[in-house]
Chain A
Amino acid sequence: MSICFEKLSHEYSPGTPFAFLALKDINLTFAEGKMTAIIGATGSGKTTLVQHLNGLLLPTEGRVTVNDHVIEAGKKYPKIKDLRKGVGLVFQFAENQLFEETIIKDVSFGPKNFGATEEEARERAVRSLKIVGITEDMFEKSPLELSGGQKRRVAIAGILAMRPRILVLDEPTAGLDPQGAANMMELFKRINKENGITVLIVTHNMEHVLDYCDEVVVLGKGRLLMQTDISTFFENEEYMKKAGIDPPSIVRFKRFLKEKGLELPADVLSIEELAAEIAGRYRR
Chain B
Amino acid sequence: MKNITLGQYIPLDSFFHRLDPRSKICAMVAMMIAVFIPAGFIGYALIGAILIMCVFISRLQVDFIIKAMKPMIFMMIFLFVVNIFVVKSGTLLVSFWIFNIYSGAIIETLYIVIRLLLMIMITTLLTATTKPMDLTLGLEHLMGPLEKIKVPTHDIAMMVALALRFIPTLIEEADRILKAQASRGVDLENGTLREKINAILSLIVPMFVSCFQRADDLADAMEARGYAVGAPRVRYKKLAFTAGDYIVIIGANLVLLAVIAIKIWVIK
Binding site for B on A (CB under 8 A): 12-13, 16-18, 51, 54, 56, 81, 84-85, 87-89, 91-92, 94, 96-99, 109-110, 113-114, 144, 158-159, 162
A17-B10, A96-B206, A99-B201 given as contacts; is B187 within 8 A of A81 (CB)?
Answer: yes
On whether A110 and B184 interact (CB within 8 A), knowing A13-B2, A17-B10, A17-B64, the answer reads yes
Nearest Cβ in chain B — how far from A256, in angstroms?
A: 42
Residue B133, interface by CB 8 Å: no
Q: Within the complex, which residue of B61, B173, B177, B183 is in contact with A88, where a contact is CB–CB below 8 Å?
A: B183
B180 lies within 8 A of chain A by Cβ: yes
Determine the chain A residues whose CB is within 8 A of the CB of B202 once the complex forms: 97, 99, 109
Pairwise interchain contact A96-B2, C-beta atoms closer than 8 A: no
Inter-chain CB contacts under 8 Å: number:
64
Q: With A51-B179, A91-B180 as given contacts, are A144 and B185 in contact (CB-CB < 8 Å)?
A: no
* Chain A contact residues: helix, strand, loop or mixed: mixed
Q: Is the CB of B183 within 8 A of A159?
A: yes
Q: Which residue of A lies closest to B187 (CB)?
A: A81
A56/B184 in contact, CB under 8 A: no
Residue of A nearest to B191 (CB): A113
**Cβ-defined partner of B184 (8 Å) among A16, A92, A97, A144:** A97
Query: How many B residues touch the partner, as a band?
Result: 20 to 34
Q: A56-B179, A97-B180, A97-B206 are in contact. List 9 more A-B contacts (CB 8 A).
A: A12-B2, A17-B64, A54-B183, A91-B176, A91-B180, A98-B206, A113-B184, A113-B185, A162-B184
State A158–B180 Cα separation when bound (angstroms): 11
A96 touches B177 (CB 8 A): yes
The reply to whether the CB of B209 lies closer than 8 angstroms to some CB of chain A is yes
Give Cα A158–Cα B202 distance, bound, in whole angstroms: 13
B3 CB contacts on chain A under 8 angstroms: 13, 16
Could you tell me the distance between the alpha carbons of A80 and B118 in the complex, rounded to whole angstroms?
43
| B140-194 interface with A by 8 A CB criterion | 173, 176-177, 179-187
Contacts of A51 in B (CB 8 A): 179
Binding site for A on B (CB under 8 A): 2-3, 10, 61, 64, 173, 176-177, 179-187, 201-202, 205-206, 209-210
Across the interface, A99 reaches (CB within 8 A) one of B173, B176, B179, B205, namely B205
Interchain Cβ contacts under 8 Å between A and B, 27 examples = A13-B3, A17-B64, A18-B2, A51-B179, A54-B183, A56-B179, A56-B182, A56-B183, A81-B187, A84-B182, A85-B185, A87-B183, A89-B183, A91-B179, A92-B176, A97-B181, A97-B184, A99-B205, A109-B184, A110-B184, A110-B185, A113-B184, A113-B187, A114-B185, A144-B209, A158-B184, A159-B183
Cα of A114 to Cα of B183 in the assembled complex, Å:
10
- Which chain A residues lie closer than 8 Å to B184 at the CB level? 97, 109-110, 113, 158-159, 162
Residues of B within 8 A of A96 (CB): 173, 176-177, 180, 206, 209-210
